[in-house]
Amino acid sequence: MAPPLMLLKNIRLTFGGRPLLDGAEISVSAGERLGLVGRNGSGKSTLLKIAAGSVEADDGERFLQPGATVRYLPQEPDLSGYKNVRAYVEAGLTQGDDAYRAQYLMESLGLSGDENPTRLSGGEARRAALARAIAPEPDILLLDEPTNHLDLPAIEWLEAELRSSRSALVLISHDRRFLQTLTRATLWLDRGKTRRLDQGFAAFEAWRDEALAQEETDRHKLDRQIEREKDWLRYGVTARRKRNMGRMRALDVLRETRRNARGPQGTVKLEVTEAEKSGALVIEAKHVGKSFGERTIVSDFSIRIARGDRIGLVGANGAGKTTLLNLLTGALSPDQGTVKVGSIVTIATIDQRRASLDPDMSLRDALTGGGSDSVDVGGQTKHVVSYMKDFLFSPEQAGSPVKALSGGERGRLLLARALSQPANLLVLDEPTNDLDLETLDLLQEMIADYPGTILLVSHDRDFLDRTVGSVVVAEGEGHWVEYAGGYSDMVAQRGRGVDARAAAAGAERERQASAGQTSPTSRKKLSFKDQHALDSLPQQIKKLDAEIAKLEKRLADPALYARDPAAFASATEALTRAQAQRSDAEDRWLELEMMREELAG
């Protein structure tokens, strides 16, 4: 087995008086695809910072192979001190790296490179940081929540980019589909320690549940053993008038073991306060249209939403999902058509920008509205501190301001407040942002059990598949189409997802329209991105040809399968992938070459 490129061993770190990391370990080999998972607050980001060398552990060993290159994507990148985005991205390159690739990545992520870093949104800053991390094609990529603030086209583009990358990946993400697609091994950080599963994330949750069930069994056995020893202490010692000091010491050890056992972190308890049942018809929209200036957001859209429906809205950022949501709920008036909201409809909303949270308000007041210490939930009155504990907040946080919370904690606070309000229509605009996998599971179960109606905007494909009965998709130019089923069902019916190429084409059409252009033939030359692709694809095809030839030669060995079935399966999978990549590259080169000839006239 090849030595690891990076090794973290017996990492320990105390934070705020408690052990955050207590013997954590990571081993990363060349080309490895490793998912790092665990609850919010378990120390995943800190462990990744230690791997990147930006945080020093209290104890433990960090080893990096001499000459190995590492790039790290933080959750909150710092672009201060750079003239523009291009300067920031290119500062991550080293001698021999391809500057054209940096420009290609910026354009693929919707950036020109000329943007002023001080004026970037959180999403734009994150896309710039992604380009900086990926551009050098390092030996090891450490990515902390790379899909945060990305829309579906960008997520699917990034997924494809990382699948074709030769870099080893260590990936933190709460996007199940993203993890399932990219990981080949899973590292679980739990109560300060790491446990490794040599399978991708698809196998992780069943393995984790089995491990936790075994822990519970072991704790139960330990409790029973302690009770037996205590019983002996009460009755057996006095009967013999002589203390068995060895057995007494053993009981002390058992008690100490039980005291020091850190059980799994608590889980969020989601309860819904339901309002009076709505009428059978919740929303009816007929031939609705809405424009802002010259841009049409919604064009001739009709839908009937009945009580109990779960509707998902998907599309690229800027497609108008929130606008359509506001039209359907009556928060925004249409330019054309009508929207009728049914009788006895009471709405509770979780908004993606967390705008409804006053940053200076305390958690107690955010949940109670101020002037009270209780919350009405599910027909029962609960003390606010007890309700906070249901969402994993400590009693000490009751007086803390909202601005002191992390992104995940703000998401949980919004959930807590929305679910305490009497409602029969839940409007969830990106509710999964910053929530860990276990909380996502509970939110999914709550949606399944909720007797009312739900409108959901999300970029999380797996979450959509698990929760909605139909998906409304932005098809471009203001057209929205409803498909039965979840996201995967929509892809099967539509023939594609909300893919990056379609989004890029739509953006290019919009750019051409704003510049007074009417068709690609009106351009005088290829875009920078297309020209770079045209120049670089032949070399990429040549490399793929060499890889395919090497794999075919290996698979031609008749004894390979009998000798090593796993290696045979891996080589077969790699050959299929390389052949598909070569076919795609050839198609793209032919498409660009025809475009170049057409533009040349």
Q: Hey, which residues does 550 pair with through a beta bridge? A: none
Reading the block at residue 106, the tokens are 């910026």
User: How much is the pLDDT for 515?
Assistant: 42
Query: Which pLDDT band, with edges at 50, 70 and 90, does 394 fall under?
Result: confident
Mean pLDDT on 146-159? 87
Q: pLDDT at position 512, please?
A: 41
Q: How far apart are CA 599 and CA 593, in angstroms?
A: 10
Q: What is the model's pLDDT at position 502?
A: 39
Q: Among 307-311, 405-409, 413-417, 444-448, which is the least confidently predicted range? A: 405-409
At residue 428, the 3 state secondary structure works out as: strand
Confidence of residue 152 (pLDDT cuts 50, 70, 90): confident
Evaluate if residue 411 carries a pLDDT over 60: yes
What tens digit of pLDDT does each residue of 582-596 get? Answer: 877 777 777 777 777
If you write DSSP's letter for every residue of 226-237 in order, what string do you get? Answer: HHHHHHIIIIIH
β-strands 6-15, 59-64: how paired?
antiparallel
What local confidence, expressed as pLDDT, does residue 72 receive?
96
Instruction: Tell whether 320 is in a known binding site.
Output: yes
| Mean pLDDT within 286-294 | 91
Closest CA to 262 of 211, 215, 195, 213: 215
Count of Cβ atoms closer than 10 Å to residue 542 Cβ: 11
Instruction: Judge whether 43 is annotated as a binding position.
Output: yes
3-state SS, residue 515? coil
Average pLDDT, the chain: 81
User: Does residue 308 surpass a pLDDT of 50?
Assistant: yes
- Taking the C-alpha atoms of residue 413 and residue 545, their distance in angstroms, rounded to an integer, is 53
- pLDDT, one tens digit per residue, over 489-519 is 998 888 877 754 434 444 443 344 334 444 4
Instruction: Provide CB contacts within 8 A for 191, sequence distance 6+.
Output: 22, 42, 262, 264, 265
**Which regions of 227-328 does DSSP assign to beta strands (E)?**
281-292, 295-306, 310-314
pLDDT at 70 over 90: yes
Q: Using the 8-state DSSP alphabet, how is residue 32 labeled?
A: -
Annotated ligand binding at 10? The verdict is no
Task: Extract the tokens encoding 431.
Answer: 């509710």
Domain 281-504 belongs in CATH node 1.10.3720.10: no
Q: What are 420's two structure tokens?
A: 């305490």
Q: What is the DSSP string of 559-598?
A: THHHH-HHHHHHHHHHHHHHHHHHHHHHHHHHHHHHHHHH
Tell me: is residue 38 an annotated ligand-binding position.
yes
pLDDT tens sequence across 559-570? 887 788 788 778
pLDDT at 2: 66
At which residue do the structure tokens 């001080």 appear? 118
Q: From the CB of residue 62, how many other CB atoms can be counted at a distance below 10 Å?
A: 16
For residues 189 and 573, give the distance between their C-alpha atoms in angstroms, rounded to a whole number.
Answer: 29
DSSP codes joined into one string, 99-118 = HHHHHHHHHHTT--S---GG
**Structure confidence by residue, pLDDT tens digits, 110-144:** 899 999 998 887 778 889 999 999 999 999 999 99
pTM above 0.75, yes or no: no
Would you say 40 is a known binding-site residue?
Answer: yes
Is residue 452 marked as binding?
Answer: no
**What is the arithmetic mean of pLDDT over 569-574?**
80
Beta-carbon contacts of 81 under 8 Å, excluding residues fewer than 6 positions away, are none
Tell me the chain's radius of gyration from C-alpha atoms: 28
41 assigned to a ligand binding site: yes
How crowded is residue 47: how many other Cβ atoms within 10 Å of its Cβ? 29
The strand pairing partners of 377, in sequence order, are: 380
Segment 575-583 shows an average pLDDT of 79
Q: Highest mean pLDDT range out of 419-433, 480-494, 498-512?
A: 480-494
The answer to whether 317 is annotated as binding is yes
Inter-CA distances, 144 with 171, 336, 341, Å:
6, 44, 41
CB contact at 8 A, 442 and 390: no
Domain boundaries, the chain: 6-206, 207-260, 281-504, 519-600
Backbone torsions φ then ψ of 494, nearest 5 degrees: -85, -25
The label of the residue with tokens 């997520």 reads 155
- Do 467 and 440 touch, CB atoms closer than 8 A? no
Res. 58: pLDDT tops 80: yes
- For residue 231, the one-letter residue type is D
Asked if domains 6-206 and 281-504 share a fold, the reply is: yes
Q: What is the DSSP letter of 334?
A: -
pLDDT over 80 (residue 276): no
Burial environment of residue 345 by CB neighbours within 10 A (0 to 12, 13 to 18, 19 or more):
buried
Give, in words, the CATH class of 519-600. Answer: mainly alpha
Question: With pLDDT > 70 as the criterion, what percentage of the chain qualifies?
Answer: 83
Give me the mean pLDDT over the 380-398 stretch: 81
Distance between CA atoms of residues 517 and 382, nearest Å: 62
CA 209 – CA 221 distance, rounded (Å): 19
Tell me if residue 187 falls in helix, strand or coil: strand
Question: Tell me: the pLDDT tens digits for 334-358?
Answer: 999 999 998 888 887 776 555 567 7
Percentage above 90 pLDDT, the chain = 31
Q: Pseudo-torsion of CA 368, 371, 373, 378, nearest 10°?
A: -40
Q: What angle do CA 264, 387, 261 make, to 5 degrees?
A: 20
3-state helix, strand, coil split of the chain in percent (to 5) is 45, 20, 35
Q: Which of 260-264, 311-315, 417-421 has the highest mean pLDDT?
A: 311-315
Residue 538's pLDDT band (boundaries 50, 70, 90)? confident
**Token pair for residue 460?**
């999380």
Neighbours of 321 (CB within 10 A): 26
Helical spans, DSSP H, in 421-527: 437-449, 461-467, 487-494, 500-514
| CB-facing half-sphere around the CA of 558: CA atoms within 13 A | 0
Cα separation, 64 vs 28, in Å, equals 10
Q: How confident is the model at residue 59 (pLDDT cuts 50, 70, 90)?
A: very high
Nearest to 276 by CA among 375, 454, 446, 423: 423
User: Residue 504's pLDDT is what?
Assistant: 42
| 290 annotated as a binding-site residue | no
Rounded-to-integer distance, Cα 302 and Cα 481, Å: 9
- For the segment(s) 6-206, the CATH number from 3.40.190.10, 3.30.750.24, 3.30.390.30, 3.40.50.300 is 3.40.50.300
Q: Collapsing DSSP states into helix, strand and coil, what is residue 177?
A: helix
Each residue's pLDDT tens digit, 204-249 = 988 988 888 887 787 777 777 767 666 655 555 544 444 455 655 6
CA dist., res. 175 & res. 141, Å (int): 18
d(CA 221, CA 227): 10
Which residue shows structure tokens 């490179």? 113
Instruction: DSSP letter for 353, please.
Output: T
Tokens 């057995």: give the residue: 247
Q: Please tell me the distance from the alpha carbon of residue 267 to that of residue 209, in angstroms, as a whole number.
A: 14
Query: What three-state secondary structure class fits 245?
Result: helix
Query: What is the pLDDT at residue 148?
Result: 83
Q: Is 44 annotated as a binding residue?
A: yes
